[in-house]
Chains A and B, each alone.
Chain A
């Protein structure tokens, strides 16, 4: 079975601080995909990043960066110089690969509040 754990339920930081959201996953598959989604108050899940299990390169996109470590089964997300617009619930998700197997297993989410 697949499982995603986001141990941080809520985080509050002051604007311009850096913040890291943790994600730990469990899977027996050798090929899988990891995702991060952002859910603002409007409810829509906004896709942030997808990473496949063969690509352990860290990625940076503007103020966002992701650290994927297979050795610790973690896929952590860092926001640098946080802004109020970053306030949202963030979900980490895991999926198997293979046609028909690609449902997303989500973590419980981390509610991030950026204090102005």
Chain B
């Protein structure tokens, strides 16, 4: 079956703009998480959605937001972009029930560059 799909793969934006990234989870998976990966901070948790509700949130400013649709697809939005937002944004999905007996499956990520 198809894996986790993230679009676009690459994106270049200028400071002050906003951006929306998309993630389509594995069919049947109801939980979608987002992570930011930078050389300086490593992999950091942004948020997790389950059945259209944010279930957990990392320590990021309010410029970072997300949502999940009824088909489990998720989007994350970053407003007023800063140079430090340049990163690889990874989405992960899992069934969402049964605890972590099911590991996360990650997508290939969206590489966002702010100029």
Contacts and interface: CB of A to CB of B under 8 A. Distances in A.
Interface string A10-44: 00000000000000000000000101010000111
Interface residues of A, number: 27
A90 interface: no
Given A33-B100, A50-B100, A106 B42 contact: yes
A105 interface: yes
**Dominant SS among interface residues on chain B:** strand
Interface in B29-62: 33, 35, 42-45, 48, 50, 55-56, 58
Size band of the interface chain B makes with A: 20 to 34
A43 B100 contact: no
B64 interface: no
A35 B106 CA distance: 13
B88 interface: yes
B27 interface: no
Interface string B90-102: 1010000001110
A43 B92 CA distance: 13
A105 B45 contact: yes
Interface of A: 33, 35, 37, 42-47, 50, 52, 91, 93, 95, 97-109
Interface of B: 33, 35, 42-45, 48, 50, 55-56, 58, 88, 90, 92, 99-101, 103-109, 111
